[in-house]
Structure 1
Amino acid sequence: MKAALIGLGMVAETHVRAIADAAGVTLAGVMSRDATRAQAFANRMASVIGTAPHVFPDLAAIAASDVDFVILCTPPDSRADIVATLVAAGKPILMEKPVERTAKAARAIVDICAAAGVPLGVVFQHRFRPDAMALHDLLASDGLGTLAAVQIDLPWWRPQSYYDEPGRGTYARDGGGVLITQAIHILDLALTFTGPVSRVQAMARTTALHRMEGEDFVTAGLDYASGAVGSLVATTASRPGGGDCITLHCANGSARLVHGRLTIDWADGTTENIGLSSETGGGADPMAFGHAWHQAAIEDFAAALRDGRNPTSTGAEALRIHVLIEAIIRSSTEGRAVEIAP
């Protein structure tokens, strides 16, 4: 299958490397609003894929081409018009998170794709981590028993220079701060284990360590629809930056996902380790990760198109993360608990 890449920012090279190793997927070309930047990027990628990829002059050229799907990596504030053009051309879309800046805008994108029957996937690559898949299998077999409590921690660090880039950490371009830009991945992964959150009570703040519009520190208490309770701490103000962690406390033991490793402390006192400790990306360096999980996400999306099924992570599923993030911010702003409708 042929894929086109739109948006050549920080994660674009990761996608090129992922496509280069992906089974059954080739890179048809790249596109950026800045033609000079696009050509420079294409020339640089020659060392990755053996030859400089084609540079599409504009979106219309991609819409008129024979590409099978498009990988969209632009900032969320530029999504709507691009999606409308691609949907009109019947091009399936696999987009980087978030879908848009707000839940309402994200739902509009999901709805336009659904109305036209155009597949929409979101790159939540952490779902393809071996440790995460092992925990999914364990939960599916009910090996851990009833879920009682959840801890979600994201102790990351970003220097001020990161937020000095125009638009970064703003509501106009990004839709907010640490929640929608960094924690969105671990929140998505956690919800695949726990099911939906029904109620939140939160505090979101911008610390003295950063000058930015959005939040760089969030703490929240969570009630789950299942009856479990939980906590969330997410920040980009934690030097030197550590790995994100999800801990599930269940009737038969506690399972902890961190740094690519699953550790299970069973109720009988034994401990089991699955996977090898490795950098899961992003704690201190925004690009401190490989491309294997992106490769798996791209291969899954291509296979879904071939098989006529939904990809592992759909645009509709991503809406639950947008709703949760907005509920957390609303709870902080209004100083009260916020209920989340099913």
Structure 2
Amino acid sequence: MTGQPLPRLAVIGLGMATKPHLKALAELEGRVVVSGVFNRTRAKAEAVREQFGFAVFDSLDAIAADPGTDGVIIATPPDQRMEIASQMAAAGKHILMEKPVERSLRAAREIVALCEGAKVHLGIVFQHRFRQGALRLRELIDAGELGDLALVRAEIPWWRDQAYYDIPGRGTLARDGGGVLISQAIHVLDLMLSLTGPAQSVQALTATTTLHNMETEDFAAAGIRFASGAVGSVVATTATFPGETERLVLDGSEGTAILTGGHLRVAWRDGRSEELGEASGTGGGADPMAFPCDWHRDLIEQFARGIVTGEPPRITGREALRVHALIDAMVRSGASRQETRLEDME
């Protein structure tokens, strides 16, 4: 962005999910300016000021009115998204928002529509797409090297202890919109759909195991039919102690790609093999934030660059509606015990 003004971002919400954002923003010094941070508990904002040197905003109104803020990173719980996104979009601030877009597909559509109406960018934080192995797999699929996709398998065997769900609102419909699907598996499901194309229908089982006392599901399994003609399966849980690395397997006519965390292994039908990517924490165990900030850094930089150049976010709010539709269909199928079609995203 040499010769262009540096984009200026404010951070709204300083809970657990903000840890990699703040580290990434510190690494982006000289490329992105942090105009300030805001948290409804002032002490958290002051602690961030002490650690990173970022200024503190006194209110959301102050951010909305600040001519030196081009965009905001919203990392609040999902039940606060509508209020904040509405105010910031009306003020002309571009928005980069933690997943999910909102607690329901209907509410997510509302946020996407209001941002499009205000002509502000809406990007969603699905950092798994920025891992080295995922980027390489995207290249192979775009080049047609895996051939025709036939079978997809997504496995998310993560762990959260009861203390995680004892935090007020965690895993509830009112605050989070659901359990393992919308809070954890959504990352892998988004990555899956970005590689496979849209799903058409699902048949699911959702449940709460005896290992957790919580309102919503900590286990989900589903068979999926994709628009391409491929079929697949998803198993997601936060009840597998001590937590294992998530895995996405794509079986094509020319080879099979196995993405384990950020590490990709490809077995070609002609006998060749390929491996690349990083072996790192994924947040699937007791510490949900046990992963590097590199993926967030690249995602934030691309979003910030787009504020200056007009380039849209890599993962837009409208694109994120696909994974919301899949989760919505899985939840409805789990309740009805019937195969359920996804709602039309057009």
TM-score (norm 2): 0.95
- SS of residue paired to 2:48: helix
8 Å Cα contact 1:242-1:284 kept in structure 2? no
- SS of residue paired to 1:168: coil
Aligned equivalents of 1:297, 1:282: Cα separation in 2: 20
Amino acid at match of 1:26: V
Amino acid at match of 2:334: S
Aligned equivalents of 1:285, 1:244: Cα separation in 2: 15
Which deviations, in whole Å up to 9, do the C-alpha atoms of 1:170-209 show, x marking residues without a partner?
0000000000000000000010110000010000000000
Task: Using the TM superposition, give the Cα deviation of residue 240 of structure 1 relative to its aligned residue in structure 2, in angstroms.
Answer: 1.1
Aligned equivalents of 2:337, 2:114: Cα separation in 1: 35
For residues 27-38 of structure 1, what are the structure 2 equivalents within 5 Å? 27-38=34-45
Aligned equivalents of 1:229, 1:109: Cα separation in 2: 31
Amino acid at match of 1:40: A
Q: Which residue of 2 aligns with 1:25?
A: 32
| Structure 1: gaps spanning 5 or more residues | 47-51
Task: Using the TM superposition, give the Cα deviation of residue 282 of structure 1 relative to its aligned residue in structure 2, in angstroms.
Answer: 2.8
Aligned equivalents of 1:281, 1:260: Cα separation in 2: 12
Question: For this pair of structures, how many residues does the alignment match?
Answer: 336
Q: Which residue of 2 aligns with 1:189?
A: 191
8 Å Cα contact 2:258-2:266 kept in structure 1? yes
Aligned equivalents of 2:183, 2:62: Cα separation in 1: 30
Q: Which residue of 2 aligns with 1:230?
A: 232
Which deviations, in whole Å up to 9, do the C-alpha atoms of 1:23-62 show, x marking residues without a partner?
610211110111233213322x23xxxxx21110000110
Q: Which residue of 1 aligns with 2:65?
A: 64
Task: Using the TM superposition, give the Cα deviation of residue 341 of structure 1 relative to its aligned residue in structure 2, in angstroms.
Answer: 4.0
8 Å Cα contact 1:125-1:297 kept in structure 2? yes
The farther-off stretch of 205-214 and 256-265 is 256-265
For residues 69-88 of structure 1, what are the structure 2 equivalents within 5 Å? 69-88=71-90
Aligned equivalents of 1:16, 1:341: Cα separation in 2: 36
Aligned equivalents of 2:88, 2:54: Cα separation in 1: 20
8 Å Cα contact 1:242-1:283 kept in structure 2? yes
1:309 to 311, 328, 331: 311
Q: Which residue of 1 aligns with 2:49?
A: 42
Q: Which residue of 1 aligns with 2:3?
A: none
Aligned equivalents of 1:106, 1:265: Cα separation in 2: 38
1:116 equivalent to 2:118? Answer yes
Amino acid at match of 1:129: R
Aligned equivalents of 2:95, 2:198: Cα separation in 1: 25
Aligned equivalents of 2:294, 2:58: Cα separation in 1: 29
Task: Using the TM superposition, give the Cα deviation of residue 239 of structure 1 relative to its aligned residue in structure 2, in angstroms.
Answer: 1.0
Amino acid at match of 1:113: C
Task: Using the TM superposition, give the Cα deviation of residue 118 of structure 1 relative to its aligned residue in structure 2, in angstroms.
Answer: 1.1
1:274 equivalent to 2:280? Answer no
- SS of residue paired to 2:16: coil
Task: Using the TM superposition, give the Cα deviation of residue 304 of structure 1 relative to its aligned residue in structure 2, in angstroms.
Answer: 1.6
Amino acid at match of 1:285: D
Aligned equivalents of 2:57, 2:188: Cα separation in 1: 34
Relative distance call for 1:62 and 1:195 in structure 2 (3 A) is same
For residues 141-290 of structure 1, what are the structure 2 equivalents within 5 Å? 141-290=143-292
Which deviations, in whole Å up to 9, do the C-alpha atoms of 1:194-235 show, x marking residues without a partner?
000001000000000000001000000000000000000000
Aligned equivalents of 1:89, 1:275: Cα separation in 2: 40
1:140 to 117, 139, 142: 142
Q: Which residue of 1 aligns with 2:92?
A: 90
Which deviations, in whole Å up to 9, do the C-alpha atoms of 1:281-325 show, x marking residues without a partner?
333420111110000110010122222121100011111111110
Aligned equivalents of 1:166, 1:41: Cα separation in 2: 23
RMSD: 1.1
The farther-off stretch of 16-25 and 213-222 is 16-25
- SS of residue paired to 2:222: strand
8 Å Cα contact 1:244-1:283 kept in structure 2? no
Aligned equivalents of 1:284, 1:220: Cα separation in 2: 25
Amino acid at match of 1:21: E
The farther-off stretch of 94-103 and 78-87 is 78-87
Q: Which residue of 1 aligns with 2:108?
A: 106
Aligned equivalents of 1:16, 1:290: Cα separation in 2: 12
Taking only the aligned residue pairs, the percentage that are identical comes to 51
8 Å Cα contact 1:195-1:224 kept in structure 2? yes
8 Å Cα contact 1:282-1:289 kept in structure 2? no
Aligned equivalents of 1:301, 1:69: Cα separation in 2: 9
Amino acid at match of 1:283: G
1:12 equivalent to 2:18? Answer yes
Relative distance call for 1:82 and 1:141 in structure 2 (3 A) is same
Aligned equivalents of 1:27, 1:154: Cα separation in 2: 34
8 Å Cα contact 1:16-1:27 kept in structure 2? no
Q: Which residue of 2 aligns with 1:49?
A: none
